[in-house]
Amino acid sequence: MVIIDIDGVLTDGTIYIDSEGRETKAFHVLDGTGISYLHRAGIKTAIISGRTCDAVVHRAKELNIKDVYQGAINKLDAYKEILEKHTLSDDEICYIGDDLIDLPIFYRVGFPVSVANASPLVKQHSLYVTNAKGGFGAVREVAEKILKFQDKWHLIMERYKEI
């Protein structure tokens, strides 16, 4: 399973507030495609965010992400709930984060990943640091890396073969 933070990972960290005070976010299509690739290969995804935003719920629905935890000030509690719900161990999890709030999960998961613009301390605790910044294809980059490592990339490429 791949668990993804929102602000600074699936987005560039910018928070947009409209004239009525509603918060919204911008998501990169490459990241959404990467998540779709993971699903196509049978790899589940989840979201854990310290903030709450309706735009996240809508994007998660579009991407068929079933496990969405928002307002998770203690992200470790949400993480443990996901493990229990899916009967997974720490070693079976890739977590993509960018800031100190993500570290308690980084210390546990099998594959902690930080984005290029993550906090330096978070990068130190990562097994992989993306070349792409958060919100600009970092999740897609990780998806490709995982699919290639697990020898599942061919499942994606079959759709794009020459006829």
136 has a pLDDT exceeding 60: yes
Query: What is the rounded radius of gyration, in angstroms, for the C-alpha atoms of the chain?
Result: 15
Cα-based distances in Å from 65 to 36, 117, 157: 9, 25, 22
In this prediction, residue 162 carries a pLDDT of: 66
pTM of the model: 0.95
Q: Over 60: is that where the pLDDT of 163 sits?
A: no
Which strand (E) or helix (H) includes residue 10? none
Q: Is the pLDDT of residue 118 over 60?
A: yes
CA 47 to chain centre: 6
Parallel, antiparallel, or unpaired: how do β-strands 16-17 and 23-24 relate? antiparallel
When pLDDT is averaged across residues 134-158 and rounded to a whole number, the result is 96
pLDDT at 161: 80
CATH tag for 2-160 (out of 3.40.190.10, 3.20.20.140, 3.30.565.10, 3.40.50.1000): 3.40.50.1000
pLDDT digits 0-9 by tens, 82-117 = 999 999 999 999 999 999 999 999 999 999 999 999
